[in-house]
Every structure is written in structure tokens, then in C-alpha cells.
Amino acid sequence: MRVAVVGVQGDVEEHVLATKKAMRNLGIEGEVVATRRKGVVSKSDAVIIPGGESTTISKLIFADSISNEIVELVESGKPVMGTCAGLIVLSKFGDEQVEKTKTKLLGLLDVKVKRNAFGRQRESFQTTLEMKKVGKIDAVFIRAPIVEEVGKEVEILAEFEGRIVAVQQGKILGLAFHPELSTTKVHEFFLNLAEP
Ligand code: GLN
């Protein structure tokens, strides 16, 4: 199995390591490649869009048309996971910050997101979350977004203080936090969505 981590900006290496560990735990043979070039995502079985700055990640993936490769991969039935900024980029609708910055979104996940939703007081924090299908995990939030509205195909997997922080739509996973920093359970769940 080959998993691509979109490596244009953000916490790319942490996702590579968490994915490798998850593969080992599941006994899956394969490779994990961080990429900022065309032609890698399209030859992968799954793709991860990390956290970072959604404005920057968006600009770079659209400029290089990695965006088209991600859309095509998902349309061919392969899984994609977006965490934090990656969740924002995957979404269909953004908030006024997304509009103001003219950030292009992939529009694959039928949700509306709000950037930096926890405000300045709680820019980053760690908490325990109960995530459906995954179980209890530690979750690290860093200037995290939230999901404000979900379409009818979207299943809510986790909430924190009444706010939606993890969703699934078929093989599309969107998380407001950073699982790669604290657990491999989410990556294991994600890999199980991919066919070898
Ligand atoms: N605040 C960032 C954004 O809106 C996301 C932060 C993150 O990915 N850790 O793009």
C-alpha cells in the first residue's frame, strides 16, 4: 500500500511517522511518501492533508494541480484524511476568513468550517476525546477549526464541548485536531478504509 502525505507545508513528517507506525501495528506492507510534486498522489492508495496554514496549503496544491489529483483519487473510491488546516481545505464551505483570504477549497467534504474557532484564549490545548469507531484518544488542538454545519451524508465522529471536531463522509475523514501528535489509532482507522 502506498500512502501519500501532501507535503507542501505544515506538520508533514509527523503524519509520515504516525502512518508508518499505524501500518506496522496493522501488519500492512507499504510505503508512506511526503510529496509536493505532481504524479505521486495519483499513484497512491490513500492521501493525507496535514495541518499547517490552510491559506498556504490551498495555494500550493491548486498551483501545482495536486488538487485535481486529490479529487480524482477520492472519486475513484480511495480515502483521504484532512487534519486541522487539511480539514478546512477538504471542505465545501468556509467562513468569512476563508472568503476574505480567497482560499480555494477542494469541496469534497459536505461541511461548513470555521477557522481558528477556539479563539485566542485557547489557541492550543490537549484533551481526551471519545471518537466513534476509534475509541478514546488524546487530541491536540492547535488554532483549530470546527465544523459548523454538516450535509446529510456526513457522520459526526467526535464533538468537544458541543462542537463538531471529527467527521466522516464515506472514505473522507476530517479532523479539527492533530491525531499524528498523540495517537496512531486514527491512522489505523484511516488505513482500514484503504484497499491494499
Ligand atoms: N489555523 C490554521 C488555519 O486556519 C489551522 C491550524 C492548524 O492546522 N494547526 O489554517
Q: Which of 84, 99, 130, 148 is catalytic?
A: 84
- Which CATH number is associated with domain 2-194? 3.40.50.880
Is the distance from the beta carbon of residue 54 to the nearest atom of ligand 1 less than 6 Å? yes
Kindly state if the Cβ of 114 falls inside 6 Å of ligand 1: no
Whole-number pLDDT of residue 121:
72
Indicate if ligand 1 lies below 6 Å from the C-beta of 143. yes
**Cβ neighbours of residue 54 closer than 8 Å, sequence gap 6 or more:** 85, 88, 89, 98, 103, 115, 145
CA-closest residue to ligand 1 atom 5: 85
Question: What residue has cell string 480555494?
Answer: 104
Identify the active-site residue in 14, 69, 180, 188. Answer: 180
Residue 27 CA to ligand 1 centre (angstroms): 32
Instruction: Select which of 14, 15, 69, 178 is catalytic.
Output: 178
**Domain-wise residue ranges, the chain:** 2-194
- What's the rounded Cα separation, in Å, for the pair 157 and 160? 11
Neighbours of 169 (CB within 10 A): 19
Q: For every one of its 196 residues, what pLDDT tens digit does the chain have, with 9 covering 90 and above?
A: 999 999 988 889 999 999 999 999 999 999 999 999 999 999 999 999 999 999 999 999 999 899 999 999 999 999 999 999 999 999 999 999 999 999 999 999 999 999 999 987 788 999 999 999 999 999 999 999 999 999 999 999 999 999 999 999 999 999 999 999 999 999 999 999 997 6
| Whether 84 is catalytic | yes
